[in-house]
Amino acid sequence: MAKRWYVLHTYSGYENKVKTNLENRIESSGLEDLISKIEIPTEVVAEIKDDGKRVEGEKKVFPGYVLVRMEMTDQTWSIVRNTQGVTGFVGCQGKPAPLTREEYNKIMKRTAVDTPKETTTSLKVGQSVHVISGPLKDFDGTVTEIMADAGKVKVTISMFGRETPVELTFDQVAEI
């Protein structure tokens, strides 16, 4: 029987603890040859803080889930299923369903280093902002659109006696 990737459902926030507990149980049971890998899919996200600084951090792609590469036997099922923090396998009618190669690749592609980083910001449409860098430094404006995928914000700035829309990156503006 070949090793396949299975998805475990865990208590949310316990993913790292489940991984550690499972690794310890596998080692103490001598099942390293049957259960070979445990993954918690994460991705790097960037957040713009109130001071305009860009901070990168890791975020779980699927909170409450852990991937395990294992050969499914009664013994391995029992070890994994009875690990503290595991609520069960993802599957149909109580039977664990392995991921297809395509499903696994799709999940892990989100964790790859070269994937575009998601950017989050606390800015809101209609909010007043101060430009802190670039050619429009020291101008104030109002947010009219947020383009999170691009890491940009559209701001209307009053200059030369008229309202002018400009596109700025999240790190070029700060909340007022």
| Cα separation, 151 vs 170, whole angstroms | 6
Q: What does the pLDDT read at residue 116?
A: 46
pTM score, two decimals? 0.61
Burial label, 35 (beta-carbon count in 10 A; 0-12, 13-18, 19+):
buried
pLDDT band of 113, cuts 50, 70, 90: low
| pLDDT tens readout for residues 19-30 | 999 999 999 999
Mean pLDDT of all residues in 47-56: 74
Q: What does the pLDDT read at residue 134?
A: 85
The larger pLDDT score, comparing residue 111 to residue 122, is at 122
Q: Which of 11-15, 36-40, 116-120, 121-125 has the lowest mean pLDDT?
A: 116-120
pLDDT band of 120, cuts 50, 70, 90: low
pLDDT at residue 114 is higher than 60: no
- Residue 81, CA distances (Å) to 29, 78, 87, 96 in order: 14, 5, 7, 10
pLDDT at residue 51 is higher than 90: no
Residue-averaged pLDDT of the chain: 87
| Cα separation, 16 vs 92, whole angstroms | 25
| pLDDT tens readout for residues 52-95 | 777 788 888 889 999 999 999 999 999 999 999 999 999 887 78
Q: What does the pLDDT read at residue 115?
A: 46
pLDDT at residue 16 is higher than 80: yes
Question: What residues have CB less than 8 Å from 40, skipping those under 6 apart?
Answer: 15, 16, 19, 60, 66, 67
Dihedral pair phi/psi, residue 169, rounded to 5°:
-80, 160
Structure tokens at 81: 């299923």
pLDDT band of 119, cuts 50, 70, 90: low
- Per DSSP, the three-state class of 18 is helix
A 10 A CB-CB count for 134 gives: 13
